[in-house]
């Protein structure tokens, strides 16, 4: 039997990069119609749009005539499964696993195609809200938040996102929608304490709750209207979380509001002193 090569820790370290990569990994949160998808299409081409809500129509047309934009739509509806109710968890899981595996193969293809050009490109996940739901169905056969072993699921999901991060040419824009926040109150009924759900009145992001650990920057999109017309904004802050709005690339942006702008222009704020051309 051949002897295994001796382990040498020195073989496993590499020198850190000294040149900045003019790209970012962004978490974009906002209500509908606030410019979340539009930001993706302002990024450098080729643009690979992973669409789980088929929400690009009405926006992508403004860019597709001058940019290479490839869209992959996923028509996944866990409510459209014909089976005996007692088999639903098994069948919904099989269905979700198939879609998830196709998505992961598609993502690997997009990373390889973009990287071979050796210049910045863009990947959009729109909405990550739906992608996270798909992964939960693929793991558990349903969306329940009841206690389960999430460790394996979390590691797979983080590994998937890190595959994009590992390509230094890739911009990743992760779009999350909003949902009503629910809490619980304890009521006493006939001498018995019971928990009752209630709406808190707040709107909070919907998606993977550890996404903030992975991204370089967090932005909340807003739309306002005044006498001058409609305006769109990028906020590095949010009412639902005082810690929202981190920016690893430029900490001075945390807590700030900027007018909405194309990704290459936004990049000049993310990496101070850079030029839009370096992000294109």
Whether the pLDDT of residue 267 is over 90: the answer is yes
C-alpha angle with apex 179: 175 to 180, nearest 5 degrees?
A: 160
Task: Round to whole Å and give the CA distance between 131 and 129.
Answer: 6
Whether the pLDDT of residue 144 is over 70: the answer is no
- DSSP-derived 3-state class of residue 153: helix
Paired residues of 186 in beta bridges: 195
E strand residue ranges, 111-169:
121-126
Whether the pLDDT of residue 245 is over 80: the answer is yes
Task: Round to whole Å and give the CA distance between 272 and 198.
Answer: 44
Using omega within 30 degrees of 0 as the cis cutoff, is the peptide bond preceding 213 cis? Answer: no
Task: Round to whole Å and give the CA distance between 270 and 279.
Answer: 11
Contact (CB, 8 A) for 115 and 169: yes
Average pLDDT over residues 21-49: 97
Residue with tokens 């749009």: 49
- DSSP-derived 3-state class of residue 35: coil
Using omega within 30 degrees of 0 as the cis cutoff, is the peptide bond preceding 2 cis? Answer: no
Alpha helices in 203-275 (DSSP H): 211-214, 263-270
- pLDDT, tens digit, for every residue of 51-95? 998 888 889 999 999 999 999 999 888 888 888 888 888 888 999
Distance of CA 14 to the CA centre of its chain: 29
- DSSP-derived 3-state class of residue 82: coil
Paired residues of 175 in beta bridges: 28, 126
- pLDDT, tens digit, for every residue of 160-181? 999 999 999 999 999 999 999 9
Q: Give the alpha-carbon dihedral of 218, 265, 158, 214, to 10 degrees.
A: -40
Residue 145: the pLDDT is 60
Residue 1: the pLDDT is 63
């Amino acid at each position: 039997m051949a002897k295994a090569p001796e382990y040498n820790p020195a073989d496993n370290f590499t020198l850190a990069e000294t040149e900045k990569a003019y790209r970012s990994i962004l978490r974009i949160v906002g209500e509908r119609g606030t410019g979340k998808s539009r930001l993706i299409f302002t990024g450098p081409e080729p643009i690979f749009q992973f669409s789980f809500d088929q929400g690009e129509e009405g926006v992508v047309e403004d860019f597709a005539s001058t940019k290479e934009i490839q869209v992959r739509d996923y028509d996944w509806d866990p409510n459209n499964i014909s089976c005996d109710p007692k088999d639903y968890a098994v069948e919904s899981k099989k269905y979700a696993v198939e879609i998830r595996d196709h998505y992961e193969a598609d993502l690997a293809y997009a990373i390889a195609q973009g990287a071979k050009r050796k210049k910045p490109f863009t990947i959009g996940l729109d909405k990550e809200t739906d992608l996270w739901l798909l992964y939960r169905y693929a793991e558990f056969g349903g969306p329940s938040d009841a206690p389960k072993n999430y460790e394996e699921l979390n590691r797979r999901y983080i590994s998937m996102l890190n595959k994009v991060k590992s390509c230094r040419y890739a911009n990743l824009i992760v779009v999350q929608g909003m949902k009503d926040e629910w809490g619980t109150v304890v009521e006493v009924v006939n001498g018995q304490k019971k928990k009752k759900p209630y709406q808190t009145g707040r709107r909070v992001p919907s998606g993977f709750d550890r996404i903030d650990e992975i991204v370089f920057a967090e932005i909340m999109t807003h739309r306002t209207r005044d006498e001058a017309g409609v305006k769109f904004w990028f906020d590095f802050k949010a009412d639902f979380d005082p810690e929202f709005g981190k920016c690893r690339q430029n900490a001075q942006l945390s807590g700030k509001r900027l007018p909405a702008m194309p990704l290459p222009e936004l990049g000049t704020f993310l990496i101070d002193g850079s030029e839009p051309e370096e992000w294109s």
